[in-house]
């Protein structure tokens, strides 16, 4: 029940303030310890980057593991409430939906407004994007982050409790800060590979969840692996491809890939539909994870 309560907390109150947000603390650690990592040679950068990642992950696991043990000593109702409060900052559904909706609202005010708002949620250069490309980028961000920021942390919570969700969130934050080519190629390599590994299952689960809408589901599922393979990432192409197929829209990163090339350019109505599907998908998986946890607990496995 903690998962369901955590989603309700997210819906009602959103993100906690930055000074007490654990993901912000993770970012502080990664920024501070990673300051000089790329300045070393490849072998040394890889070694110390891996060591710094492992140290941070162990610290996060220890803190949340201790919290979980202490909460388990409390009455069941109090354990559920406090676990939900600790789980909430480790995923972000409301923020994701609001940011994507804000891009659409800004685009309706003008092209420059849409470009500026999109820059809040994507790393690519938005200065020359046209309205179709803005919507495509926004929908790609929605699909990818539905997996990374919502389904994946809940999945790892269902498997390993608070430590599982927290270590995943640390890994995802490390990838966002270190997992780049170029200067960070070696210092961030372990962080990038760890994030890829931890997202293998959640990305595909998210894709299946997004596709279980409307007609021709089996036909779209058969097409999904081919669309997902068009991206260089082993994971992000799955939820993005699924959203493109289920909405029958085209999603592009110029000169890099095109997903569902025969689809139409997304419209404002497609953004609304995508937001609705993303939210329902998150709640469906949260319910499934909650039932799995209760079943395993009843069977004596948790």
Position 255 pLDDT exceeds 90? no
pLDDT (tens digit per residue) in 61-84: 999 999 999 999 999 999 999 999
Portion of the chain with pLDDT greater than 70, in percent:
98
How high does pLDDT run on average in the chain? 94
Number of residues written out for the chain: 302
How does pLDDT run across 188-205, given as a tens digit for each residue?
999 999 999 999 999 999
| Contact call for residues 132 and 104 (beta carbons, < 8 A) | no
Binning pLDDT at 50, 70 and 90, where does residue 181 land? confident
Give the pLDDT confidence score for residue 301 in this predicted structure. Answer: 58
β-partners of residue 249 are 264
Q: Nearest Cα to 89, choosing from 190, 182, 169, 164?
A: 169
Domain count, the chain: 1
Give the dihedral sign, CA 182/185/187/188: positive
For the ranges 77-86, 139-148, 206-215, 260-269, which has the lowest average pLDDT?
Answer: 206-215
pLDDT band at 295 (very low <50, low <70, confident <90, very high): confident
Vertex 190: Cα angle to 188 and 194 (nearest 5)? 120
Distance CA 247, CA 268 (A): 12
Residue 253, strand partner residues: 257
Largest separation between any pair of C-alpha atoms in the chain: 57
Mean pLDDT of 114-136: 92
Which domain does 23 fall in, by range?
Answer: 2-298
Q: Is the dihedral of CA 199, 200, 201, 202 positive or negative?
A: positive
- Reported as type and span, the H/E element at residue 123 is none
Sequence-ordered alpha helix ranges (H) in the chain = 2-13, 22-33, 42-71, 76-87, 93-109, 111-118, 131-146, 152-178, 189-211, 217-228, 237-247, 268-298
């Amino acid at each position: 029940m903690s998962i369901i309560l955590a989603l309700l907390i997210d819906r009602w109150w959103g993100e906690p303030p930055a000074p007490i947000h654990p993901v912000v603390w993770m970012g502080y650690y990664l920024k501070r310890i990673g300051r000089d990592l790329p300045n070393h040679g490849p072998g040394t950068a890889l070694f110390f980057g891996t060591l710094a990642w492992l140290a941070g992950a162990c610290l996060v696991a220890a803190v949340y593991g201790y919290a979980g043990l202490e909460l388990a000593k409390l009455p069941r109702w109090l354990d559920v409430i406090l676990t939900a409060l600790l789980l909430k900052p480790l995923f972000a559904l409301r923020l994701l939906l609001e940011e994507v909706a804000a891009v659409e609202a800004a685009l309706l005010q003008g092209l420059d407004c849409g470009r500026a708002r999109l820059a809040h949620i994507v790393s690519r250069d938005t200065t020359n994007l046209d309205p179709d490309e803005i919507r495509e980028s926004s929908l790609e961000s929605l699909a990818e982050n539905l997996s990374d920021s919502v389904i994946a942390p809940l999945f790892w919570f269902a498997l390993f409790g608070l430590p599982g969700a927290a270590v995943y969130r640390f890994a995802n934050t490390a990838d966002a800060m270190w997992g780049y080519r170029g200067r960070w190629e070696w210092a961030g390599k372990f962080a990038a590979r760890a994030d890829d590994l931890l997202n293998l299952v959640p990305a595909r689960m998210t894709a299946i969840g997004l596709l279980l809408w409307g007609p021709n589901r089996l036909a779209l599922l058969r097409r999904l692996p081919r669309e997902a393979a068009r991206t260089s990432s082993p994971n992000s192409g799955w939820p993005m491809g699924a959203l493109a197929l289920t909405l029958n829209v085209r999603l592009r990163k110029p000169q890099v890939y095109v997903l569902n090339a025969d689809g139409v350019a997304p419209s404002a109505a497609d953004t609304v539909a995508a937001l609705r599907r993303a939210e329902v998908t998150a709640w469906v998986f949260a319910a499934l994870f909650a039932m799995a946890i209760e079943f395993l607990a009843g069977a004596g496995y948790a």
